[in-house]
Amino acid sequence: MAIKPTIGFIGLGIMGKPMCRNLLQAGYPVVVYTRTKSKIEEMVKEGAQGAKTPREVGEKSEVVITMLPDAPQVEEVILGERGVIKGIERGKIVVDMSSIDPLSTRRIGEVLVSQGVEMLDAPVSGGEEGAIKGDLSIMVGGKKEVFEKCLPIFQVLGKTITYVGELGSGEMTKLINQIIVAVNLAALGEAFTLGAKAGLKAETMYQALRGGMAGSKVMDMKVPRWEERNFTPGFKIDLHLKDLKNALVTAQEMKVPLPFTSLVKQVMITLSGKGEGEKDHGAMIKFWEELSQIEVK
């Protein structure tokens, strides 16, 4: 049996912790780092090795995975004074599985390559549930041969793994994903609120619509949670808002109009301003519920 490479994992949030746990359960040696000491200690109890800095993760790992909120955190962890780049050896690999803008990805990649370190961008879709089950959708950009080398790792974390092109292509694909999910959530929220105001139950609408063209995975995942009034975050509104910001900035640079994305971003800003930003992005429905004075349940 081939010896599994040691994986460094940086970022133990809603997504990162279950992803790290799946790697441990698959038999990979894992070195972990995050800013919260208790999260490191939790993973150490499950078999991981703790690190005090990103640099130490780089020193002890053959493949370093980052799962962080946005580009500034990724840049600091990889390229900062105590970053991965200060410890990782030539020929090793950095895989950023965060959702950030493609230009930042390429900038980080250029610095790593100049030091002899390869990079892949591999953002994911599927939320906390997908991370726990290990059936995330993973969109990977970078050199094809590096992707193939890391494929066994991705297969532990996800079910649908797609190589999409050069470095930055994974992040671009994720932005497309986030636009579709956001606009879908908005359409569902608007439509289901109308139905609720007319006296229809959420479950009735869901069963009538799910098998037709209006059906979607977003509907399957969110309507049951609306019925339960469960807005515990699988993916936070504020994180989705960040993704739409990155999509709009990227689209502006490419001279591509995104009018619906812009509108949904304003809905998210409104909710974030009301203190809802830490809730699941399915809580977007509250925007229409408040306007219509009705709850979808």
Catalytic positions, please? 174
Q: Count Cβ atoms within 10 A of the Cβ of residue 295 and give its class: 0-12 exposed, 13-18 middle, 19 or more buried.
A: middle
Query: By the 8 A CB rule, do 33 and 53 touch?
Result: yes
What is the rounded CA–CA span in Å between residue 240 and residue 288?
Answer: 18
H helix or E strand, kind and range, residue 25 = helix 16-25
From residue 283, alpha-carbon distances to 63, 102, 128, 181, 215 in Å are 36, 28, 15, 13, 19
Torsion of CA 188, 135, 38, 237, to 10 degrees: -20
H helix or E strand, kind and range, residue 124 = strand 124-125
